[in-house]
Structure 1
Amino acid sequence: MQYRELGRTGWKVSTISFGAWAIGGTWGQVNDEESMAALHRALDLGINFFDTADVYGDGHSERLIARLRKERSEPFYVATKAGRRLSPHVAEGYNRENLTAFVERSLRNLNTEVLDLLQLHCPPTPVYYLPEVFGVLDDLVRAGKLRHYGVSVEKVEEALKAIEFPGVQTVQIIYNIFRQRPAELLFRETLARRVGILARVPLASGLLSGGISRQTRFEADDHRSFNREGAAFDKGETFSGLDFESGLAAVEALRPLVPAGQTLAQFALRWILMQQAVTCAIPGGRRPSQVEDNVRSADLPPLPDATMQAVGAIYAQYAKPLVHHLW
């Protein structure tokens, strides 16, 4: 495992970390004992950063991580998120009363007295223009409820606005072979400000795992069956905003670039880690075998320039016209 500094926190976190959305729900049927086995295997392999949210299984994901902390002695960092419990999900809801209540609930779910890292959970764009919201987070840090805070965003523009607030330590954003826009400007700015980048949806909802085909069928409670057009939340969270057919065509174009002995998933994760600005990629893992496959990418050699250029050409052909201008 490799480790990189996370913003100005002083933490060194595993470049392949653990995304806990899938063990909470909306990814089809999940088994808690298998999820726990995956979490334990992550620690075994050197993962020390786990990303969750209060809405993943209505707090279930947080509670599983609390169980992990109880069952293991090794220290690790937990990032959670708040805001999506609001209904309606509007900027006005990001007030002191609600944010404090969300933090208190996550503290209970995680069975801890202080949250390592709290992230605003893809709030409406106007929130980034409300200094008082970030003032509340500063107060929660001073009160000892949070060690640090950051943002999880949908759009590059939101991230650029968020990092103007000096307390923002991290930006979580979709960044993968099919969503390359963050590398154009955002990464340069986060490097200059020493803000960490958490690359979420690194495998484009499984497309970049190489295991999905036209014959794949998703369960009714899997967002890949019900959110392709953004019916439940931002369309960009499902298959990175690509339509299914375009995504499959892009995957076939990528396959010849994968070195012998690597999986497409490992190749896609290693591609993300070529960016110095990225602190870690946070793929999900519902089974130990998935975690093992993901972790191997951390120690792979750098990709050659020719390969990076070929990936860029595939992005330009298959994905850029569909997603680049939207997020």
Structure 2
Amino acid sequence: MQSQNAAMNRRTLGGKDGLEVSALGLGCMGMSEFYGQGDEKESITVIHRALDLGMNFLDTADMYGSGANEELVGRALKGRREEAVLATKFGIRRDGGTRTVENSPEYIRAACDASLKRLGVDHIDLYYMHRRNPDVPVEESVGAMAELVRQGKVRHLGLSEVSADTLRKAASVHAIAALQSEYSLFTRDLEAEILPAARELEVGLVAYSPISRGLLSAALPDADELAADDFRRHMPRSSGENAVHNRALAEQVRKIADEAGMTAAQMSLAWLLAQGEDIVPIPGTKRLKYLEENAAAASLTLTPGQLEALVQAVPADAVRGPRYPSMREIGN
């Protein structure tokens, strides 16, 4: 296994005039919500260490912790803003336990201003529509996002979890630098239509949950051993008979990784990186140990034999269970 290079390789999202980011980004969601109790001091240490390692692409959203995650990231970036490529999202409104998707131009303008204030910055490098409300034409929403670019509040635009058709409509209004969607050895639905469309349009793919929320690490505890507020307790893929089946698949990945001198998580990330220079995984963690383990994957290269062995071990349709309970989307 090669050593980690502090000057992490860069990739470009969105073609020749797109956004240059580190080959691996850092998902910050779990620092504030969804994965059990967080610790702000440790989370800020993790963000600072990511920047030290050259992992400069930081991902948050206004709905993570109902704004708390943006505030945390903003505090971490005080004095280091120029080192980071900062991405955040709008579109999921929270009112108590109720969540709605809001894409109106008026809301987009207000959401952007609120994010800028929470983050304590004067611009957002990559601003995503977190989820799409089909009742609002995507062209209308992207038009409002494009106005933010013209105002200097946003540098590049992105969408999350949209179809190939929606992506094409959006790109007809303004250049889209990135599509953020779930992609991993365990989630490959987008390979048929969405990824080809993104490449046709020169839209980079930002892969969230690249280790399948810990399942591919081959070390995720049983659901009933997770913290009471860890939402993976209720995820179909990590509970019941599905978990037994999917853990067996993850164990196969671990065996291949062991032979290569890698961890299962590193091999899973290296597999994603090998799928194309336009793909940037954003593994999330709030622990320094896992950050450094993940970051090391950016310098790993899998052999053709290893890539083939992984596909044989985890065929595209092998994983059991939907991504969300009743396909209800919780965060990302």
Q: TM-score, normalised by structure 2?
A: 0.85
Which 10-residue stretch deviates more, 72-81 or 43-52? 72-81
CA contact (8 A) 1:14 1:46 kept: yes
Residue equivalent to 2:310:
311
Offset at 1:321? 6.9
CA contact (8 A) 2:164 2:197 kept: no
CA contact (8 A) 1:17 1:50 kept: yes
Give the gaps of 5 or more residues in structure 2: 1-7
Which digits, 9 at most, give the CA deviation of each residue in 1:238-287, with x for residues without a partner?
A: 76xx9322321211222221134210000000000001153311001202
CA contact (8 A) 1:246 1:319 kept: no
CA distance in 2: counterparts of 1:116 and 1:6, whole angstroms: 12
Change over 3 Å in CA distance of 1:320–1:161 after alignment to 2: farther
CA contact (8 A) 2:242 2:320 kept: no
Which 10-residue stretch deviates more, 64-73 or 279-288? 64-73
CA distance in 1: counterparts of 2:198 and 2:163, whole angstroms: 15
Give the gaps of 5 or more residues in structure 1: 230-237
CA contact (8 A) 1:51 1:78 kept: yes
Change over 3 Å in CA distance of 1:84–1:58 after alignment to 2: same
Which digits, 9 at most, give the CA deviation of each residue in 1:49-79, with x for residues without a partner?
A: 1010011111121112211221436521100
**Paired residue secondary structure (1:59):** helix
Matched, 1:83 2:82: no
Matched, 1:95 2:104: yes
- Picking from 201, 206, 223, the partner of 2:209 is 201
CA distance in 1: counterparts of 2:272 and 2:316, whole angstroms: 19
CA contact (8 A) 1:213 1:248 kept: no
Count, aligned residues: 313
Kindly report which structure 2 residues correspond to 1:155-174, keeping only aligned pairs within 5 A, or say none.
158-159=166-167, 162-174=170-182
Residue equivalent to 1:278:
278
Change over 3 Å in CA distance of 1:294–1:151 after alignment to 2: same
What is the one-letter code of the residue matched to 2:112? V
CA contact (8 A) 2:11 2:277 kept: no
What is the one-letter code of the residue matched to 1:132? E
Which digits, 9 at most, give the CA deviation of each residue in 1:287-313, with x for residues without a partner?
A: 211110001000012x22232223223
Which digits, 9 at most, give the CA deviation of each residue in 1:176-200, with x for residues without a partner?
A: 0011232333333322322111010
CA distance in 2: counterparts of 1:151 and 1:223, whole angstroms: 24
CA contact (8 A) 2:254 2:264 kept: yes
Kindly report which structure 2 residues correspond to 1:134-213, keeping only aligned pairs within 5 A, or say none.
134-153=142-161, 158-159=166-167, 162-213=170-221
Residue equivalent to 1:234:
none
Residue equivalent to 2:262:
262
CA distance in 2: counterparts of 1:145 and 1:64, whole angstroms: 20
Change over 3 Å in CA distance of 1:73–1:277 after alignment to 2: closer
**Paired residue secondary structure (2:276):** coil
Offset at 1:82? 0.4
**Paired residue secondary structure (1:58):** helix
Change over 3 Å in CA distance of 1:298–1:191 after alignment to 2: same
Offset at 1:130? 3.4
- Picking from 109, 121, 130, the partner of 2:118 is 109
**Paired residue secondary structure (2:66):** coil
CA contact (8 A) 2:22 2:57 kept: yes
Residue equivalent to 1:218:
226
Runs of 4+ displaced beyond 6 Å: none
CA contact (8 A) 1:190 1:277 kept: no
Residue equivalent to 2:5:
none
Residue equivalent to 1:246:
245
**Paired residue secondary structure (2:83):** coil
Change over 3 Å in CA distance of 1:72–1:149 after alignment to 2: same
Residue equivalent to 2:36:
28
Offset at 1:84? 0.8
CA contact (8 A) 1:24 1:59 kept: no
Change over 3 Å in CA distance of 1:257–1:158 after alignment to 2: farther
Matched, 1:122 2:131: yes
Q: TM-score, normalised by structure 1?
A: 0.86
Offset at 1:167? 2.9
